[in-house]
Structure 1
Amino acid sequence: MNYSFVENILGRLMIAYAGFMGIPFLVALIWQEGSILSFSLSIIVTLVVGVILVTHGQKEGRMGVREGFVIVAGAWLLTGLAGALPFAFSGAVPTFLDGLFESVSGLTTTGASVIDNVEILPKSILLWRSLTHWLGGMGIIVLFIVFLPNMTGAVHLFNAEVTGPTSERVLPRIRDNALKLWQIYLGFTVAQIFLLMLAGMNWFDAINHSFATMATGGFSTKNASIMYYDNLVIELIIIIFMIIAGVNFGLYFQAWRSGINKIFNDIEFQFYLLIIVVSTLLITLSLWWTMGTGGGNSLRQALFEVVSIMTTTGFTAADYDQWPSVSKIILLCLMFIGGCAGSTAGGMKVSRIILLFKLGWVELRRAIHPKAVINVRFAKRTVDPVIFNTVAVFFFLFLSIFAFATLLLAATGLEPFDAMSAVVATLGNIGPGFGVVGPTTTFSSINAFGESVLILCMLLGRLELFTLLVLIQPEFWRSRKGW
């Protein structure tokens, strides 16, 4: 393991991260907010850490698989800690742990908050919350690759951060691939800002909500989230862009080169839309039949919340915690599924769910024909058995971590369903859950131990388990040829 090279890369990333802190710092200067000092101190601390790491580290080095894992894990941990400084220094949160929770929630695009009243926060702090969403959405490492064109072995960083069972590239060179993804991401963000302003949202709220939407994060500038606006046009715009953000971004580039049919012919995209449509219809019927809500209102509320939960954005346009049990169970299932691989959404991903069903079908056929050689195809290609194995292991680990973390939360005094809801909401990077962490409440009632567990859940969920879990293996840290 080339620790010196790892230090240098992490130091450069911290310096770049300090640069992004300059954006809300300028906002604080323009509005002459009390958070000017908070951001000044945060930038200085982050820069000092970055400079120390760069100076102590080695500029040139070999980027292997192990270095890739350590850099990605280290980058998310360090940026999470640095991102907590503005919250802690400004007094937006009572403790540094609360600031860390808010920072990690932003970067992992979870959108869970411990701040009960966001409307009293300075504009600079609100923007920082949303900016952490936007940076973490497409990936801080993917963005870093864009600014380091000559970094050898960047593919290991890319593979360790990009979501999904496989890390497909739309272009041969990894930097070109990262640049194209960020260009698409930026283009959609600008388009949404423009449309939200046309719909009547002020420019500041439009920027914040667009950052949160495209990152599938869910931080809002309003306590009531999207319910505050009660505007059908705004809701429809956000619904469209949440759906866009939940799709594999590589498909957009392929569609630009080969036509829009490239998107609609994608099997994962088809199932993604099918799940949204079916879930929306079922919840609409449930609201109309059980609660007596009008058909139009039922459809409006159901569609927004299904898309918000399915894409793991977490915006709320209705208090779904008051919905019938069957509707809440459907939303709970969607929390586990999540969006498409290669998107900014969390959850287990639609492609993994499809592969799990195919794996189950294969095993049923194999029970009848034990000696048969059965090839499974996905997206017009034969699936490598190794991928099936990886998907099965991911599913097992996801459920195991979910169960263990739920036990830990329950041990803090939470009711079982509330504990389960809090864990799936953070492990799946959704944000709001049910009960004490429902759509109209925050995570402020969770104690320090519970917060720590949920912070770890958010990081595990965003980095898809393996990137962090691989670090606990003693073998990983032993010197070994071939890595």
Structure 2
Amino acid sequence: MKIITLDLRPVLSILGVFLTGLALTMLVPTSMDLLDNNNNWLGFMMSAAITSFIGVTLILITRGKKEIIEIKSTFLLVTLSWMILSIFSSLPFFFSQNNLGITESFFESVSGLTTTGSTTINNIQDASRGLLLWRAILQWLGGIGIIVSAVSILPSLGVGGMQLFRLESSDSSEKLLPRATSIATEITVLYLFLSGLCAIAYWFSGLSIFDSIIHSMTTIATGGFSSQQGSIGAYNNLSLEIMCILFMIFSSLPFVLYLKAIRGKPYLIFKDEQVQGFFKILISSILIIILYLSFLEDFDFFSSLRSVIFNVTSILTGTGFSTDSYDNWGTPVIVVFLCITFIGGCAGSTTCGIKVFRIQVIFKNSKQMIEKLISPNRVTNHKYNGENLSLEIIESVMTFLFIFILTFFIITLILALTGLDLLTSMSASATSISNVGPGLGNIIGPNFNFSELSNIAKWALSFGMLAGRLEFLTFLVIFSKSFWK
């Protein structure tokens, strides 16, 4: 059997650049805590020193090698990037004064970079401003990485049906990095613009400059980290909630469509099947919950509408902000929230989950199968946004869905074996692989966090967050024997 040895030098070189950049980023919260005369700045400095040392070392030992990334190397680079960056991003948490252990620090880091938003930190408002800023920075950086991967890398790798969104001149011809670099520039500029616009909107809504920046970064990344224990609900600010709803929706739509709108084709946003499907799911979920709540004795239409719209939007987009204990609204409501936790937003955005387009592809394929049962000789050819749904795409989507469901059940079982109840186990598993944030129930619900879970549960959820963010196949492929042959 022929063995193909991967050239790891280009991968290690890029990882070195990433780590060096991460170390420089750590200087921002370092400065914040230094200005506040908070001793946490020492932890950030130590973390930056360790990270920069490893990063520069990787660059030096791989210098002189032209960075041409092959397909296998791309899979390895994407997976290792998220894993290695998560490890080094956890150092500031570990060295902080919040007494976080290795497990909690890694969990917090993974939750940040994958834009999940689950946390193990109690009384978060008492943490140093540097640490709060670091959490927001992780989610903001993770959001950029997610969009660039979804737009320029995953389609070329054919992961989970993402080839539907393959851009012009995008291919799988062993030279993916230049394409990723070119699209990253446009995406980053747009991402910066939306972040700034969101921060200004929050500031005008009454937040302090610091809180506006923190929440704008975690909103655009659909991450959900907050500087308040009670999340957005702690402010009890209607104008803030309205702005937050709008920017959560903006961030959950395909960013490529915004670029096309800027180039004079804004109508493409409303013609896009995925966008249409997203709004149908959003509006339907809101109406179903409002209809159910209207039969309750203490129902108040306007307050209920305000709370339902915000929290449904937050969970569907995978942001994870909360303004109410929606898990106390009744079993039917819990079922709806659990369903939209799985779905997520649109491909090409910062959201995760199954994603709207895969739901639509499955429905189209199911419809085609039913039509064949009725008329076996009938030839049907379904399209998605004008593109033919090939067998390759359908198989890719179905494979993704199978692994998604299998991972959900495995993590649920692991959590149940640690002694957690079924609702907590299921919602924790769902929120980790869908990168949403809060779970359901009296342990990890919107008013609680993940600090009470066992270390085994936290490691299982960390694995789920990484696997979900990397679209499962990208993550699992490097563990297959055939990958190294």
Residue correspondence of structure 1 range 83-162 to structure 2 within 5 A: 83-139=89-145, 142=148, 156=153, 159=156
Counterpart among 278, 290, 302 of residue 284 in structure 2: 278
Do structure 1's residue 459 and structure 2's residue 435 form an aligned pair?
A: no
Match of 2:167 in 1: 169
Do structure 1's residue 317 and structure 2's residue 328 form an aligned pair?
A: no
Match of 2:349 in 1: 343
Q: TM-score normalized by structure 1?
A: 0.93
**Separation in structure 1 between the aligned mates of residue 155 and residue 49 of structure 2, nearest angstrom:** 29
Distance 1:35 1:180, change over 3 A: same
Counterpart among 209, 212, 226 of residue 218 in structure 2: 212
Counterpart among 29, 46, 50 of residue 34 in structure 2: 29
CA contact (8 A) 2:94 2:101 kept: yes
Match of 2:173 in 1: none
Match of 1:251 in 2: 257
Do structure 1's residue 469 and structure 2's residue 466 form an aligned pair?
A: no
CA contact (8 A) 2:160 2:473 kept: no
**Separation in structure 2 between the aligned mates of residue 342 and residue 141 of structure 1, nearest angstrom:** 6
**Separation in structure 1 between the aligned mates of residue 155 and residue 20 of structure 2, nearest angstrom:** 20
CA contact (8 A) 1:72 1:161 kept: no
Match of 2:184 in 1: 178
Distance 1:291 1:465, change over 3 A: farther
Counterpart among 426, 444, 448 of residue 441 in structure 1: 448
Distance 1:359 1:216, change over 3 A: same
Do structure 1's residue 20 and structure 2's residue 25 form an aligned pair?
A: yes
How far 1:88 sits from its partner (Å)? 0.6
Consecutive unaligned residues of structure 1, counting only runs of 5 or more, are 146-153, 479-483
Stretch of structure 1 that moved more, 360-369 or 209-218:
360-369
Distance 1:258 1:304, change over 3 A: same
Counterpart among 56, 64, 72 of residue 61 in structure 2: 56
Do structure 1's residue 378 and structure 2's residue 375 form an aligned pair?
A: no
How far 1:278 sits from its partner (Å)? 1.3
**Separation in structure 2 between the aligned mates of residue 199 and residue 161 of structure 1, nearest angstrom:** 42
CA contact (8 A) 1:306 1:331 kept: yes
Local SS of the residue matching 1:32? coil
Stretch of structure 1 that moved more, 4-13 or 315-324:
4-13
Per-residue Cα deviation, 1:305-357 (whole angstroms, up to 9, x for no partner):
11000001000011111111111111111001100000101110000000000
Stretch of structure 1 that moved more, 115-124 or 53-62:
53-62
Distance 1:160 1:225, change over 3 A: farther
Per-residue Cα deviation, 1:381-438 (whole angstroms, up to 9, x for no partner):
2112100110011111100110111111101011112101100011100000101110
**Separation in structure 2 between the aligned mates of residue 289 and residue 156 of structure 1, nearest angstrom:** 48
CA contact (8 A) 1:105 1:113 kept: yes
Match of 1:264 in 2: 270
Stretch of structure 1 that moved more, 322-331 or 367-376:
367-376
How far 1:12 sits from its partner (Å)? 1.4
Stretch of structure 1 that moved more, 258-267 or 269-278:
258-267
Match of 1:481 in 2: none
Local SS of the residue matching 1:290? coil
**Separation in structure 1 between the aligned mates of residue 68 and residue 235 of structure 2, nearest angstrom:** 52
Match of 2:44 in 1: 39
Instruction: Please tell me the root mean square deviation across aligned C-alpha atoms, in Å.
Output: 2.0
Match of 1:10 in 2: 15
Counterpart among 390, 393, 404 of residue 399 in structure 2: 393
**Separation in structure 2 between the aligned mates of residue 466 and residue 291 of structure 1, nearest angstrom:** 47
CA contact (8 A) 1:104 1:458 kept: yes
CA contact (8 A) 1:65 1:156 kept: no
Local SS of the residue matching 2:90? helix
Do structure 1's residue 72 and structure 2's residue 78 form an aligned pair?
A: yes
How far 1:160 sits from its partner (Å)? 5.9
Counterpart among 204, 216, 231 of residue 198 in structure 1: 204
Distance 1:170 1:246, change over 3 A: farther
Per-residue Cα deviation, 1:197-238 (whole angstroms, up to 9, x for no partner):
011100100011111110000000000001111010000000
* Residue identity in the other structure for 2:15: L
CA contact (8 A) 2:440 2:446 kept: yes
CA contact (8 A) 2:260 2:268 kept: yes
Distance 1:114 1:264, change over 3 A: same
Identical counterparts, % of pairs: 36
Stretch of structure 1 that moved more, 161-170 or 58-67:
161-170
How far 1:170 sits from its partner (Å)? 7.1
**Separation in structure 2 between the aligned mates of residue 445 and residue 473 of structure 1, nearest angstrom:** 34
CA contact (8 A) 2:152 2:183 kept: no
Local SS of the residue matching 1:201? coil
Local SS of the residue matching 1:286? helix
Distance 1:158 1:76, change over 3 A: farther
**Separation in structure 1 between the aligned mates of residue 267 and residue 239 of structure 2, nearest angstrom:** 27
Q: TM-score normalized by structure 2?
A: 0.93
Match of 2:312 in 1: 306
Consecutive unaligned residues of structure 2, counting only runs of 5 or more, are 1-5, 171-178
CA contact (8 A) 1:347 1:461 kept: yes
Distance 1:224 1:164, change over 3 A: farther
Aligned length: 469
Distance 1:61 1:211, change over 3 A: closer
CA contact (8 A) 2:148 2:180 kept: no
CA contact (8 A) 2:115 2:221 kept: yes
**Separation in structure 2 between the aligned mates of residue 419 and residue 281 of structure 1, nearest angstrom:** 27
Distance 1:291 1:460, change over 3 A: farther
CA contact (8 A) 2:232 2:241 kept: yes
Local SS of the residue matching 1:437? coil
**Separation in structure 2 between the aligned mates of residue 403 and residue 46 of structure 1, nearest angstrom:** 36
Local SS of the residue matching 1:258? coil
* Residue identity in the other structure for 2:479: I
**Separation in structure 2 between the aligned mates of residue 53 and residue 272 of structure 1, nearest angstrom:** 43
Local SS of the residue matching 1:90? coil
